C-alpha cells in the first residue's frame, strides 16, 4: 500500500510517499523561511500564495523521487486542518484533484494526528501511549488509543511552547525560525543567570501556560537595556531551561494520570516541532526512565512539519477504512479529541 501525504497548513509545503511497510519512498519539504524571515514570523497571506506556487512542483518531485506513477498509489492524504486556512485549502484542493482524477481514496488527516502517529512509523509503538504534542500552534498531553481516538489530559491555556520560543527569539533578535535559533544561542549561555517564573509549576492537572514566561523575558530585556551577545545567549539558555522544566513538571502529572487509568500503557512519545529540541528530548528520556516508561521520539527532521507524517496517518486511517468524501471542508480549527462533525 502506497499513500501520498500533502502538508500545507503552516509554512512548509511538503509531499511524501510512504508505504504500509514503513518505507519512506520520498519526502520533499519546502520551507518558506525566506518568505517570512524579514517579518520575524509567518504571514498567512504570503504563506497561502507560496503554497499555491509550490504545491504542484513539490508533488511532482515526490512522485519522481519515489520512482512511481500516480496509478501506483492506494490513496492520497492531506492535512485538512487545523492551520492557516489559505494554506490548508491549497493542500485540500490539490489532494482532491489527484484523488478525483486518479480515482483514489481521499483521506483528510488532522495535522495534529499526523504528529501524534508519526513515531509509530519510526518506532515500535503500541496503543495506548502517552503523548506530549508540542509544536508552534499546540502544546497538549494526550492519551493515544488509536487513529481518531484521543483523550486530552491537558493543554495550554494561552501560548504554545513553540510560540514562546518564536516570540522570545524575535525579542532577542536571534533569528527566525525561533526554536532552532534559541537552541543554538543557548549552547554558549548560562542557564542559571536569569531567574524566570515556572508557570503552573506544582499546580494539579497538566495544563500549560507560557505567556507569563514570555512577558518575564520581555521585562528582563527591558531592564538590561542594550544586550550583548552573551546577554542574549544567557537569556536563551535560561528561557530554554525554564520551558523544559515546566514541561517536565506538567508531564509528571500526565504520567500519573496515564498510569492510573491505563496501567497496561508502557510508552511515552513526544512529537511536534518543539520535540526537535535536544534539551527537551534528554529531559523526557530521563523522566520516562524514572517512571518506568519506554521513551520514543521521531528523528528530528520528522518532528517539524513534513509530508511523511500525513502520509503515515493516511495509511493508518486507510487500513481501518477511514476515508473522506470529496465534500470535506478545510478547517482552521479541529480539536484532536473531537470527532469530525
Ligand atoms: O510542528 P511544527 O513544525 O509546526 C506546527 O505544527 O506548529 O512546529 C514548529 C515549531 C516552531 O514554533 C519552532 O520554533 C519550534 O517548533 N521548533 C523548536 C525547535 N525546532 C522547531 N523549538 C525548540 N527547539 C527546537 N530545536
Ligand atoms: Zn505541525
Q: Tally the residues of the chain.
A: 341
CA distance 62 to 4: 9
Cell of 325: 468524501
Distance from the alpha carbon of residue 14 to the mean position of ligand 2, in angstroms: 12
Instruction: Say if ligand 1 is within 6 A of residue 191 CB.
Output: no
Q: How far is CA 67 from CA 111, 188, 334, in A?
A: 26, 44, 34
Which atom, in ligand 1's list, is nearest to the CA of 163?
12
On whether the CB atoms of residues 8 and 90 are closer than 8 A, the answer is yes
Question: Closest residue (by CA) to atom 7 of ligand 1?
Answer: 136
- Please give the grid coordinates belonging to residue 254: 500526565
pLDDT in tens, the chain (341 residues): 999 999 999 999 999 999 999 999 999 999 998 888 888 888 999 999 999 999 999 999 999 999 999 999 999 999 999 999 999 999 999 999 999 999 999 999 999 999 999 999 999 999 999 999 999 999 999 999 999 999 999 999 999 999 999 999 999 999 988 999 999 999 999 999 999 999 899 899 999 999 999 999 999 999 999 999 999 999 999 999 999 999 999 999 999 999 999 999 999 999 999 999 999 999 999 999 999 999 999 999 999 999 999 999 999 999 999 999 999 999 999 999 876 65
pTM: 0.96
Beta-bridge partners for 78: 6, 108
β pairing state of 129-134 and 139-146: antiparallel
Residue 226's CB is within 10 A of a number of other CB atoms, namely 5
Amino acid at each position: 500500500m502506497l499513500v501520498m501525504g500533502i502538508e500545507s497548513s503552516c509554512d512548509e509545503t511538503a509531499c511524501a510517499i510512504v508505504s504500509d511497510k514503513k518505507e519512506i519512498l520520498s519526502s520533499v519539504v519546502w520551507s518558506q523561511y525566506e518568505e517570512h524571515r524579514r517579518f520575524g514570523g509567518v504571514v498567512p497571506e504570503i504563506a497561502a500564495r507560496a503554497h499555491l506556487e509550490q504545491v504542484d512542483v513539490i508533488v511532482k518531485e515526490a512522485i519522481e523521487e519515489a520512482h512511481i506513477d500516480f496509478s501506483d498509489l492506494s490513496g492520497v492524504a492531506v492535512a485538512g486542518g487545523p492551520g492557516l486556512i489559505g494554506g490548508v485549502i491549497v493542500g485540500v484542493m490539490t489532494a482532491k484533484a489527484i484523488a478525483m482524477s486518479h480515482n483514489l481514496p481521499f483521506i483528510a488527516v488532522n495535522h495534529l494526528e499526523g504528529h501524534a502517529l508519526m513515531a509509530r512509523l519510526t518506532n515500535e509503538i503500541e496503543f495506548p501511549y502517552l503523548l506530549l504534542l508540542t509544536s508552534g500552534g499546540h502544546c497538549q498531553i494526550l492519551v493515544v488509543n488509536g487513529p481518531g481516538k484521543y483523550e486530552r489530559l491537558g493543554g495550554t491555556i494561552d501560548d504554545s511552547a513553540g510560540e514562546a520560543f518564536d516570540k522570545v527569539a524575535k525579542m532577542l533578535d536571534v533569528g527566525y525560525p525561533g526554536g532552532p535559533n534559541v537552541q543554538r544561542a543557548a549552547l554558549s549561555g548560562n542557564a542559571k543567570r536569569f531567574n524566570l517564573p515556572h508557570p503552573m509549576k506544582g499546580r494539579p492537572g497538566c495544563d500549560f501556560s507560557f505567556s507569563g514566561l514570555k512577558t518575564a523575558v520581555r521585562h528582563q530585556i527591558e531592564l538590561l537595556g542594550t544586550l550583548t551577545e552573551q546577554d542574549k545567549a544567557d537569556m536563551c539558555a535560561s528561557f530554554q531551561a525554564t520551558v523544559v522544566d515546566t514541561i517536565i513538571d506538567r508531564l509528571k502529572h500526565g504520567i500519573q494520570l496515564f498510569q492510573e487509568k491505563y496501567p497496561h500503557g508502557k510508552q511515552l512519545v513526544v512529537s511536534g516541532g518543539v520535540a526537535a529540541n535536544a534539551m527537551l528530548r534528554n529531559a523526557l528520556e530521563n523522566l520516562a526512565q524514572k517512571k518506568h516508561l519506554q521513551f520514543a521520539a521521531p528523528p528530528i527532521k520528522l518532528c517539524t512539519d513534513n509530508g511523511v507524517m500525513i502520509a503515515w496517518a493516511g495509511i493508518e486511517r486507510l487500513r481501518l477504512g477511514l476515508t473522506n468524501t470529496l465534500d470535506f471542508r478545510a478547517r482552521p480549527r479541529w480539536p484532536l479529541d473531537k470527532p469530525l462533525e
